[in-house]
Amino acid sequence: MLTELVNNYNEAIYDTDRAKAMQVVETALEKGATPEMVIFDLVVPAMQQMIKGISEDYDANLAQHFLTAQIAGEVTDAMLEKIESPPEPIGMIVIGTADGDIHSLGKRIVMGCLKANLVESIDLGVNVPPERFVDEASAAGASVIGISAMMVHTATGENGPRAVRRLLRERGLEEKIKLIVGGAPFRFSPDIAKSVGADAVADNGIAACRVVKNCLKKGRS
Amino acid sequence: MITGMERLAAAINGEKSDRIPVFCNLIDQGAKELGLPIKEYFSDGAHVAEAQIRMREKYGFDNVWSLFYVGREAELFGCDNVIYATDGPPNVGSFIIKNFREIENLPVPDNLTSHPVFEEQKKCLDMLKKEVGGRYPICAYITSSMSLPVMLMGMERWMELLFLGPADLRELLLEKCFTFFVREVEAYRQLGADVLVYSNPFGSTDTVPLTYFTDHSLPLIIKEMEAVGAQGMVYYCGMSRFNQVIDIIIEKTDFRAFYISPLDDLAGAKAIVAGRGLTCGVVNDIKLLEWSQDQIRSHVRQLIQDGMPGGRFLIGTGVMPYNIPETSIRSMLEAAYEFGQFD
């Protein structure tokens, strides 16, 4: 049953058809799937399939990323409400767009995917000063700072990820908090991520989820 | 001496000149050229025109720009919050559409050539036309109807409205953006722009699935071209890939120039265009921030090897990042001039 449902769900996502995707979720519940099964056997595998597709050069696109994340976030919220003892989050990230940058879509995609993977996100919004990233991550005990930047000067400038790296170093937090970056400039030139001091770079919003989980796993080990 | 306009005309017609046309899009660098802060630079159309003319003469490439920055279109709609950086393009600071209902009362600016925000662009275009008109192509940047909402409400909210929001408001906004698009094209043509770079990320399969493109993006592109004609238009998707749709665009519209994404297969694009138009190979200019002179030269040579055989080819850049070293700009251009020569 689940294989067919996963296929139907994926088909709806690829067609950017939210109503159809939500109908698949309803059908799964009607056929006896538990809320946990909907999250872990339907939504998360669909996301993993998309990540696999992207890495194999499947032509997944921004609209599909947006809807995957949007629906994953919505379904996860709805299913968690149905679970008596919701599972503990597996980690925490603070996320925002770089100083001077108000392009928020990538951040939203990452957050939707992380939610379905039970990673807690603290959304710092857009145009976030470097100090705030570090202050908030430190105060919340987050293991990852995620910075989205869509313009070259916000990705590489003195108040972007580079400044966050400097602050982490000055405060002795580099072992505790990892820095992940994403956005168009890094896609066109992945080497920029290294030069601004990022621990990891995500090629797109969906792939960011895997990168964050890897960082969290390394942090725990 | 042969002019940029003659090189471009030869390339469009499939003829040889001395070399392929080279379009180098130095926008924010104009401030550096004149020694001005970016905000002051963009406050006066005379600054922009002067810097464009100076930079073209200094480097020897073939085009000039009337573009100030992309967020200018949002200012024409009333946006008055622009974030100025010291080392990059000004950026819309807050969107004029904050909730979907505001679309109903959003006024579309009518007479652009007398619009106060457009005044400086008009000044710039007048100067460019007077100084280099007819000799070097004057470029203007036009955002398509389907992509303009991104300037007005942000990509996140626009995606929401497109895929999840109320259809009536989505259609209303698209109609308003279409009206603006037509007026903007008419204004730029009236003021002497030769090349209209039609920017439409929603015309790319990096942004939407192919089926969505054919069902939704394409009909709007056809409607736009039927309204204004494709004369001087260059199909460009904001550096996103669109090889998958070139054939259908040629079949369904009069677009005959394509600004290929650096992430796409240029030789593949050239094969798809197949002599039916101008293929523009685009330098991955973000790499110019870090590449060595040898790497730059090698990249440009590869692009020219992929795109030049058979003619009807131009080499260009994206919007060059502000901090690219001048030596790297020169290396890129010298390689383009050298490898782009006709026998």
Whether the per-residue pLDDT at A221 is higher than 80: the answer is: no
B39, B94, B147, B164: best to mutate for the A interface, most A CBs within 10 A: B164
Residue A178 has phi, psi (to 5 degrees) of -100, 150
Whether the per-residue pLDDT at A58 is higher than 80: the answer is: no
Span A30-43, average pLDDT: 89
**Pick from A110-124, A183-197, A202-216, B218-232: least confident:** A202-216
Whether the per-residue pLDDT at A219 is higher than 80: the answer is: no
Domains of chain A, earliest start first: 2-82 (1.10.1240.10), 91-220 (3.40.50.280)
Whether the per-residue pLDDT at A199 is higher than 80: the answer is: yes
Chain A: residues touching B (Cβ < 8 Å): 14-16, 18, 59, 61-64, 66-67, 70, 100-105, 108, 127, 151-154, 156-157, 184-185, 187-189, 191-192, 195
pLDDT band at A5 (very low <50, low <70, confident <90, very high): confident
Q: What is the pLDDT of residues B207-238, one digit of tens each?
A: 999 999 999 999 999 999 999 999 999 999 99
Centroid of chain to Cα A5: 24
Q: Is residue B286 a contact partner of residue A153, using CB atoms and an 8 Å limit?
A: no
pTM of the model: 0.94
CATH of the domain at B200: 3.20.20.210
Structure tokens at A168: 């982490």
Could you tell me the residue range of the domain that residue B153 belongs to? 4-339
Question: CA A85 to CA A130: how far, in whole Å?
Answer: 36
Whether the per-residue pLDDT at A209 is higher than 70: the answer is: yes
- Angle A18-30/A2-14 helices, nearest 10 degrees? 170
CB atoms within 10 A of CB B115: 16
* Interstrand relation of A144-148 and A91-97 (parallel, antiparallel or unpaired): parallel
Residue A200 has phi, psi (to 5 degrees) of -155, 160
Confirm or reject contact between B167 and chain A (CB < 8 A).
Answer: no
B127 Cβ neighbours under 8 A, 6+ residues apart: B45, B46, B49, B50, B53
Distances from the Cα of A109 to the Cα of A56, A66, A70, A96, B272, angstroms: 20, 6, 7, 12, 33
pLDDT along chain B (343 residues), means of 10: 97 97 98 98 98 98 98 96 95 96 96 93 98 98 98 97 95 98 97 98 95 96 98 97 97 98 97 98 97 98 98 97 97 98 91
Q: Which residue has the tokens 């005379």?
A: B46
* Interstrand relation of B91-92 and B82-83 (parallel, antiparallel or unpaired): antiparallel
Give the pLDDT of residue A56. 66
Candidate from A62, A64, A195 with C-beta closest to B290 = A195
Give the pLDDT of residue B146. 98
Confirm or reject contact between B154 and chain A (CB < 8 A).
Answer: yes
Q: What's the domain count of chain B?
A: 1
Residue A172 has phi, psi (to 5 degrees) of 65, 35
Q: What is the pLDDT of residues B1-24, one digit of tens each?
A: 899 999 999 999 999 999 999 999
**Cβ within 8 Å of A, B 250-289:** 262-263, 284, 286-287, 289
Chain A residues with CB under 8 Å of B167 CB are none
Chain B residues with CB under 8 Å of A100 CB are 83, 85, 88, 91
Residue B19 has phi, psi (to 5 degrees) of -155, 175
More confident residue, B56 or A53: B56
Whether the per-residue pLDDT at A47 is higher than 90: the answer is: no
Give the pLDDT of residue A54. 64
pLDDT band at A11 (very low <50, low <70, confident <90, very high): confident
pLDDT band at A45 (very low <50, low <70, confident <90, very high): confident
**Considering Cα of B251, then B252, then B253, then B259, what sign does the dihedral take?**
negative
Closest CA to A192 of A146, A145, A144, A160: A160
Give the pLDDT of residue A55. 62
Give the pLDDT of residue A4. 87
Question: CA A109 to CA A82: how far, in whole Å?
Answer: 24
Span A153-176, average pLDDT: 97
Span A109-133, average pLDDT: 95
Structure tokens at B12: 């469009």
Confirm or reject contact between B84 and chain A (CB < 8 A).
Answer: no
CA angle B45, A184, A52 (to 5 degrees): 160
B244 Cβ neighbours under 8 A, 6+ residues apart: A59, B205, B210
Report CB contact under 8 Å: B286, A61: no
Quote ipTM for the complex. Answer: 0.92
Percent helix, strand and coil across chain B, each rounded to 5? Answer: 50, 10, 40
pLDDT band at A7 (very low <50, low <70, confident <90, very high): confident
Give the pLDDT of residue A59. 66
Whether the per-residue pLDDT at A61 is higher than 80: the answer is: yes
pLDDT band at A60 (very low <50, low <70, confident <90, very high): confident
